[in-house]
């Protein structure tokens, strides 16, 4: 136990040193000209790319209508390389694959296992984040499947060095290129590499924040005030040298950040949930270039149904924004593209 605490302390010290470099590595931050972002919404093409009714049928997505616990629907989704949408239909113990609005495949999963996130490698391996409870504590594991759903490997995430509490794992990230290529897990303030792209367990590495798609930068965002967020972006091929911080000022109360993503052109996408003076909620994505200049602002759907969705937003390598949500008619995915 003493060894575990010492290693955890070492990890906290390491992360503290990283974030000191966030704050003091540069003399000047990008302030967006002291103007609030999203003063107007961008012209956007919005397309509903799939919709499925509730149920257990071959074309349906399962939901539970909890009275004491929160209702549960599809937990996560992933984007295929040929425009497929992979939806984690854990209520029905399967993955539903859609293309051009139609279901084209169902990949069946073990019924006794609860998954809450899904990701795909470039060669169509399916990576799932399992969540289970042991001795009253949440634990997580990574399941690596082939494209037909056959298990290649299962990797427990908890260790004594980097992930002493695997219940803190938020999601999966795939890095397909560079020296940091592999399967990573996101713990919010930092990420840990846990497997190779072949699905084999590897020596674990840790980086602050998340890695870009090509593995050449790390990035991170956090809420620092009632209307303020900040984005940190490393220099290329570095996890210790940082670009100037990008300060983001919203025009209404910032309830929380929905996530941060970077596309293949290194455009930054910051998701935010805002509240106005009447406590009306809005979801939006602000898009920046790597220098912190605002490129656009996209307003997203606000889900009113209480079904839990663990990962509801994805950004494709090309920069298209996808959102999965639940309404009274079923489950749907919308694609948002800025008009040129």
Residue 290: the pLDDT is 85
pLDDT above 90 (res 24): no
Q: Under 8 Å CB-to-CB from 333, ≥6 apart: which residues?
A: 48, 49, 50, 51, 77, 85, 87, 98, 322, 323, 324
The pLDDT confidence band at residue 69, using thresholds 50, 70 and 90, is low
Mean pLDDT over residues 256-271, rounded?
Answer: 95
Per residue in 121-162, pLDDT (tens digit) is 999 999 999 999 999 999 999 999 999 999 999 999 999 999
Mean pLDDT of the chain: 88
Q: Under 8 Å CB-to-CB from 2, ≥6 apart: which residues?
A: none
Residue 10: the pLDDT is 45
pLDDT above 70 (res 104): yes
- The residue range of the domain holding 180 is 2-338
pLDDT above 50 (res 97): yes
Residue 320: the pLDDT is 96
Q: d(Cα 114, Cα 131) in Å, to the nearest integer? A: 6
Mean pLDDT over residues 199-221, rounded?
Answer: 94
pLDDT above 70 (res 68): no
Residue 330: the pLDDT is 94
Q: d(Cα 315, Cα 303) in Å, to the nearest integer? A: 19
Mean pLDDT over residues 78-107, rounded?
Answer: 96
User: Strand pairing partners for 269?
Assistant: 261, 287
Residue 157: the pLDDT is 98
pLDDT above 70 (res 14): no
Domain count within the chain: 1
Q: Residue 101, SS3?
A: coil
Q: Does pTM top 0.85 for this prediction?
A: yes
Rounded percentage of the chain residues whose pLDDT exceeds 90: 74
Residue 16: the pLDDT is 53
The pLDDT confidence band at residue 239, using thresholds 50, 70 and 90, is confident
The pLDDT confidence band at residue 67, using thresholds 50, 70 and 90, is low
CATH number, position 272: 2.120.10.30
Residue 47: the pLDDT is 97
Please, are residues 249 and 37 in contact by the beta-carbon 8 Å criterion? yes
């Amino acid at each position: 136990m003493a060894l575990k605490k010492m290693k955890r302390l070492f990890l906290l010290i390491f992360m503290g040193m990283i974030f000191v470099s966030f704050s003091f590595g540069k003399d000047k931050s990008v302030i967006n000209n002291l103007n609030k972002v999203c003063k107007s919404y961008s012209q956007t093409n919005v397309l509903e790319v799939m919709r499925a009714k509730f149920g257990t049928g071959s074309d349906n997505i399962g939901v539970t209508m909890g009275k004491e616990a929160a209702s549960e629907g599809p937990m996560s989704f992933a984007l295929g390389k040929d425009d497929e949408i992979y939806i984690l239909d854990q209520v029905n113990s399967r993955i539903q694959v859609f293309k051009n609005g139609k279901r084209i495949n169902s990949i069946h999963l073990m019924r006794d296992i609860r998954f809450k996130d899904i990701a795909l490698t470039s060669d169509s391996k399916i990576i799932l984040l399992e969540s289970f409870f042991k001795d009253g504590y949440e634990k997580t594991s990574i399941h690596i499947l082939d494209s037909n759903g056959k298990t290649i490997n299962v990797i427990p995430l908890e260790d004594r060095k980097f992930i002493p509490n695997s219940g803190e794992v938020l999601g999966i990230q795939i890095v397909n290129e560079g020296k940091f290529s592999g399967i990573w897990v996101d713990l919010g303030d930092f990420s840990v590499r846990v497997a190779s792209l072949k699905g084999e367990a590897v020596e674990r590495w840790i980086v602050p924040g998340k890695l870009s798609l090509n593995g050449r930068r790390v990035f991170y965002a956090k809420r620092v005030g009632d209307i303020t967020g900040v984005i940190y972006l490393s220099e290329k091929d570095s996890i210790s040298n940082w670009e100037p911080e990008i300060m983001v000022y919203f025009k209404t109360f910032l309830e929380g950040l929905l996530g941060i993503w970077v596309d293949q052109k290194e455009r930054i996408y910051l998701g935010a949930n805002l509240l106005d003076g009447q406590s009306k909620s809005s979801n939006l994505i602000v898009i920046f270039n790597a220098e912190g200049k605002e490129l656009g602002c996209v307003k997203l759907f606000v889900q009113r149904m209480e079904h839990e969705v663990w990962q509801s937003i994805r950004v494709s390598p090309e920069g298209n924004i996808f959102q999965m949500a639940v309404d009274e008619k079923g489950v749907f995915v919308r694609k948002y593209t800025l008009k040129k």
